[in-house]
Amino acid sequence: MVKKVYLVENLDCANCASKVEAALNALPEVQEAVLTYATMQLRITAEDPDALLPKLQEAAQKVEPEVEFYPRDGAHTHHSNTGEHEHHHDCCCGHEHHHDHAHDHHHDDDHEHEHEHHHNHEHTHEHSHDHGHEHGGEESEDLKPILVGAVLFVVGLVLDHFGLKWPTLGVCLVAYVLLGREVIVTAVKNLARGQMLDENFLMALASIGAFFTGSFTEAVGVMLFYRVGEYFEDRAVARSRSQIMEAVDLRPEVVQLVDGETVREIPAGEAKIGDIVLVRPGDRIPLDGIVVSGSSRIDTAPITGEPVPVSVAEGDSVVSGCVNTTGQLTVRVEKSLSESMVTRILDSVENAAASKPKIDRFITRFARVYTPIVVGAAVLTAIIPSLITGDWGKWVYTALTFLVMSCPCALVLSVPLAFFAGIGAGSKRGILFKGGQSMEAMSKIKAVIMDKTGTITKGDFTVQKIVGGDELLELCADCEQQSTHPIAESIVAAAKARNMELRRPEELEELAGRGIRAKLDGKEILCGNERLLTEQGVTFPKSREYGTKVLVAVDGVYQGYLLIADTIKTGAENAVRALRDSGIETVMLTGDAEPVAKAVSAQLGLDEYHAGLLPGDKVDQIETLIAAKKSKENLAFVGDGINDAPVLSRADVGIAMGALGSDAAIEAADVVLMDDDPAKIALAMRIARRTLRIVYENIVFALAVKFACLLLGAIGMASMWTAIFADVGVMVIAVLNATRALYTKDLVRKSHP
């Protein structure tokens, strides 16, 4: 099966997006279709999605006649920077949508941390790909009928107050036609296609019914406030989408290509691996690469969320999206735009938005049954009490209020928007959630299991002590020089610092979790931990020292040891405290010896530790901890995303640390931390918890208001004004509340005690 992403146009209703998604999933050739309204993207899993595109288009247009799909990498895309192209269309939600895809160019590096950088350099070309669209003149065009209708509505109220029935009817009819023409036309079109339970039909039926019951001003008022609510909803959704995309889309439009003695501007997508690009002070680094000349300090906050600039010089790697703050750099391109960090982050966020959590899937299923149930209740309300009491006017009016309240847009729109905002908030802080499912799981974490090296400690091992003389160091370095393990690298570095000439062993065998067996000058050399020497029958003195011991034996005779010490990361203690303050149990798994693990655990205040573990032992330990936890509690494992891949995949939530520039780490875990700050663990958890809290706030608020209004309606105490608030008012409030998930300053302060 092949997964393909398409851009969606001419769709501006979350409920309609849900209908299109259901229609596409009904096709037998489609394994899965996910239409994400927040990003206006469609993800199709099928054997040949491109060949299936005409059929997808046909199925979608049976539900939404104007909807169109385009390949994301095709000529017609929102990211193609082709200028302005407008689409005027009607969607099933009954309001006209003017999508003016004008691309705004921003150079606003207003990072949300303690200090702000504003770089205003003309040579920096960035685009935010504003999917909210700049409506410009269209906003005023949308407002004209609303404003005129509002004036006529007020006139109608005055005339009705003085009991002028026929003038009131005349003014209200004009106002109604002006405000509701598009809704009624769309309702008729949808009715012809067999769509009776869409919002247009229900709103048209309710307002026309109000006319026949003599409630002229209420009929106009319903349509007026419906249009006003839709207007503000459109702007709120557009603004939210724009804010989120601006936070994560750091891709450049152009780069400054160094061509001999000249510098010329070319589209970023045309830059090739090996090209030399100029990065001036204030510019974002456009593509991943290596510094060829110059030195500077770069602000990594857009990628990692960290406010402290990092020094770079010739030979250092730099990743796209970071801001060059001081000196001028020339950078050799190592990755094309499609493979650079900024694109991978954007793709991760967009892919994450398409990964629907359980609560989102439930809301989608709920919406499909909610409207028919409420409409059915409206029909019963109109008939049964009327037959009993004979008061048809009262109960038909009540039924009409039910119809206004029957659309579930507030839920269908606000729930995925909240998750999208939460994912965007995480990306601004250097935290990549792999989807709403990962965020949902992260919010339920009760225990965090951490690897030691690279997670709690820096992994910058150095030789602190040599027992056996420099000859022992040289011998050990000879055996360890081909290993990539941090301890091995520290031994080799210490030998080279003493200008030792290293020899290559005749034979070499790496023993996982124990050390190395080698043959040098015909002698068998053992370099490793106590377990290795014990297994080989070598006797040695025992001692307890902080650090990692590398014991050396030659031909079965103990020769001495090297003491390798690692340093605990700055802020690790505070990070553990932040987790414990949140009620999270902290556990450390390490392959180091008991004394080392005990010392680190005591210093950090960990709840539990397990030492001397092989890679397979870590998986077994995770299994044991999972078996002991409660069913609704999740367990997270934090590792480097590569070496700890088996454990990461087994845990409920796998968190990869220190992933700046690492493609493999991005693929390895459910949550990726773009730097090695352990405090980000607590921050990721806080972002996830708040996002879920906002989701549940919206669900409870929307359902409570709707059911309360339905109850009031059932006893005849709800008016059309109540109904319109339960529909449109709740939707606008829920959307605005969902956008709160994007802001994290207060959470950052809590995560850094």
Q: Catalytic positions, please?
A: 451
Strand partners, 330: 278, 293
Strand partners, 291: 331
- Compute the CA torsion angle 79, 83, 88, 92 (nearest 10 deg): 10
Closest by CA to 635, choosing from 617, 648, 616, 618, is 648
Closest by CA to 271, choosing from 335, 316, 212, is 335
Give the C-alpha separation, 290 to 331, whole Å. Answer: 5
Residues 6+ away with beta carbon under 8 Å from 491? 463, 473, 476, 477, 480, 550, 562, 564
Cβ proximity of 436 and 415 under 8 Å? no
Residues 6+ away with beta carbon under 8 Å from 706? 405, 726, 730
Determine the longest span between alpha carbons in the chain, in angstroms: 114
Cβ proximity of 21 and 64 under 8 Å? no
* Sheet containing strand 30-36, strands side by side: 30-36, 41-46, 2-9, 68-71
Task: Give the tokens for residue 459.
Answer: 């992994």
Strand partners, 256: 265, 278
Cβ proximity of 321 and 342 under 8 Å? yes
Give, as one character, the DSSP assignment of residue 102.
P
Per residue, the 3-state secondary structure of 686-716, as one string, reads: HHHHHHHHHHHHHHHHHHHHHHHHHHHHHCC
User: Given its phi and psi angles, is residue 708 left (phi above 0), alpha (psi -120 to 50 degrees) or beta?
Assistant: alpha
Instruction: Write the CA distances from 372 to 142, 156, 202, 402, 584, integer angstroms.
Output: 31, 34, 11, 11, 43
Cβ proximity of 47 and 1 under 8 Å? yes
Give, as one character, the DSSP assignment of residue 740.
G
Give the C-alpha separation, 577 to 490, whole Å. Answer: 30
Task: Give the tokens for residue 351.
Answer: 């892919």
| Coil/strand/helix, residue 183 | helix
Per residue, the 3-state secondary structure of 66-86, as one string, reads: CCEEEECCCCCCCCCCCCCCE
* Sheet containing strand 310-312, strands side by side: 310-312, 296-299, 323-324
Q: Are strands 289-293 and 329-333 parallel, antiparallel or unpaired?
A: antiparallel
Q: How many helices (H) and strands (E) does the chain have?
A: 24, 28
Helix axes 486-497, 470-480, angle to 10 degrees: 130
Strand partners, 585: 447
Burial of 617 (0-12, 13-18, 19+ CB in 10 A): middle
Closest by CA to 660, choosing from 250, 243, 284, 306, is 306
Strand partners, 6: 42, 71
Closest by CA to 661, choosing from 317, 286, 336, is 317
Q: Are strands 585-589 and 445-451 parallel, antiparallel or unpaired?
A: parallel
Give, as one character, the DSSP assignment of residue 284.
B
Closest by CA to 567, choosing from 656, 490, 468, is 490
Closest by CA to 252, choosing from 365, 113, 121, 448, is 121
The kind and range of the H/E element at 573 are: helix 572-581
Residue type, 274: G
Q: Are strands 254-259 and 68-71 parallel, antiparallel or unpaired?
A: unpaired
